[in-house]
Structure 1
Amino acid sequence: MSFDLGLSGRRALVTGGTKGVGAAVVDALRQGGAEVITTARAVPDTAPAGVTFVAADLTTAEGCAQVAGRVLDQFGGVDIVVHVVGGSGAPAGGFAVLDDAVWHRELDLNLMPAVRIDRALLPSMIAQGTGVIVHVTSIQNRLPLPQSTTAYAAAKAALSTYSKSLSKEVTPQGVRVLRVSPGWVETEAAVSFVERLAAEAGTDYEGGRAIVMEGLGGIPLGRPASPREVGDLVAFLVSPRASAITGTEVVIDGGTVPTA
């Protein structure tokens, strides 16, 4: 059996593609033969062959319009859109420290880029009668951490609901829409966080890992996912081999979520 995913020549946009999960998605699509445009606040000094970087602030309507315009200008349309950009800058301390400015920042980073870019690019997908959109959400939309991720988790839950509704609207027109929901992924930022925890606790890196897993209620697999594992999952889901998958959420969390 061939493991060719049939991505050769596909035109793809990946938001937030310079590090972590985004970089892994870019690499997986590029290795599969796709032409890739990706985004970051600043363009890196070097870029892999076949990848175009667009510097834009996707928390703004102007930044989203800039990226969508570049995709249409360069590709004339798009086959794959993967929304990875997201994160949280909210302070710890529970609901009381989350003022309106924090809530707006979390929504502007984790929900609105997908809404704006989808709105700009979906007409071309519908016109060609085919396409795939993947929204990267988080298991925190089901397992929020009250002391630190309430606003982030709520924004990701909103993204998930939006994604489900969008799938109902555009799947009959040939555009698949689905969600990938990671648990703890061992990105560069996660490694730095674990190292800091380990230093504060007077333990080694594996001890810091154990602290994080305990805080999540345990990971039955015994380890976090790697960015590459998430990237490979996304590459499969956007491929013709997954052509019957739409409107659903695919969880990659090592078993962290304790319910089905």
Structure 2
Amino acid sequence: MTPFLTLEGRRALITGGTSGAGAATVALFRQLGARVLTTARKKPADLSGAAFVAADLTTTDGVQAVVEAVQSEFGGLDILVNMLGGSSAPSGGFAALTDAEWDKEFALNFFPAVRLDRALLPGMIAQGQGVVIHVTSIQRNLPLPEATTGYASAKGALNTYSKSLSKEVSPKGVRVVRVAPGWIADPGQNGLALRIAAQAGISYDAAVQVIMNALGGIPLGRPARPEEVADLIAFLASDRAASITGTEHVIDGGTVPTA
């Protein structure tokens, strides 16, 4: 009997796949039969058997190293999941965002996806099939002025770019979809809470509550788990989602108050 969902034999690159939802996605893809390459600046102790290349994707050299690893490991690609993202910007609103801080936000949250797409999509187009998944964020709709203006802006740019890309390459057999997580319950993904706690002199749990309050609460009553985000990504990457392209899929427990 054919399983409901399989990625058997698919060649997948998952960026940012060494912690949190990224690591959960790597593990699930491998469980579903995909051959997986992931990347980060440093190799972790446990990769769940995935191939790995150390690279800094905020640089053009780092992107080139990953592209070369894809060709060496797989000879091509079927699925590209751009999970990489995050923020190191200080709190303090717009005035705290220097040119250097703005550059860092876009270098991490926007340009790696653009550069990897530019290098790897031609191969997908040539083979007549492929899936690109860009992980955006509900922050593009619910930015926190105190701390996430730069991050939210970069994710907003990624969202617009993704929609345009989907219109261009979907007729050529390559689907482009977006996944927009809200709060994810994993310490590896909660750098913002750690920074708020340090800067405000409050506990980590109190900082989490600050963010929850700023978001207006989560109607589901809890944040998403990394494994739940991975489930959504795997479905969208599979043939079960063969007619889905150009769309953004929110997984936020109902945080965004409008459709």
TM normalised by structure 1 equals 0.93
SS of residue paired to 2:29: helix
Which residue is equivalent to 1:218?
Answer: 217
- Per-residue deviation at 1:180? 0.1
- Check conservation: 1:15, 1:38, Cα contact below 8 A: yes
Is residue 2:24 matched to residue 1:48?
no
In the TM superposition, residue 4 of structure 1 has moved relative to its aligned partner by 3.4
2:18–2:47 contact (8 Å) kept in structure 1? no
- Identity over aligned residues, as a percent? 60
**What is the Cα deviation at residue 69 of structure 1?**
1.2
Q: Once the 2 structures are TM-superposed, how far is the Cα of residue 46 of structure 1 from its aligned partner?
A: 3.5
Q: Which runs of 5+ in 2 are unaligned?
A: none
Separation in 2, partners of 1:196, 1:96: 17
Partner residue of 1:123?
A: 122
Distance in 2, matches of 1:81 and 1:190, equals 21
**Residues 108-257 of structure 1 aligned to structure 2 (within 5 Å):** 108-190=107-189, 193=193, 197=197, 205=205, 209-257=208-256
Alignment RMSD (CA, Å) = 2.2
Q: Deviations over 1:13-65 (max 9, x none)?
A: 0001000111011111111010000001011233322x101100000011001
Amino acid of the structure 2 residue aligned with 1:39: T
Listed as ranges, the gaps of 5+ residues in structure 1 are none
CA offset at residue 179 of structure 1? 0.3
Q: How many residues align?
A: 257
**Cα pair distance change 1:100/1:156, threshold 3 Å:** same
Distance 2:256 2:146 in 1: 19
Measure the CA separation in 2 of the matches of 1:212 and 1:94: 15
TM-score of the aligned structures, taking structure 2 as reference length = 0.93
SS at match of 2:123: helix
| 1:131 maps to amino acid | G
Q: Distance in 2 between matches of 1:111 and 1:259?
A: 25
Q: Check if 1:61 corresponds to 2:34.
A: no
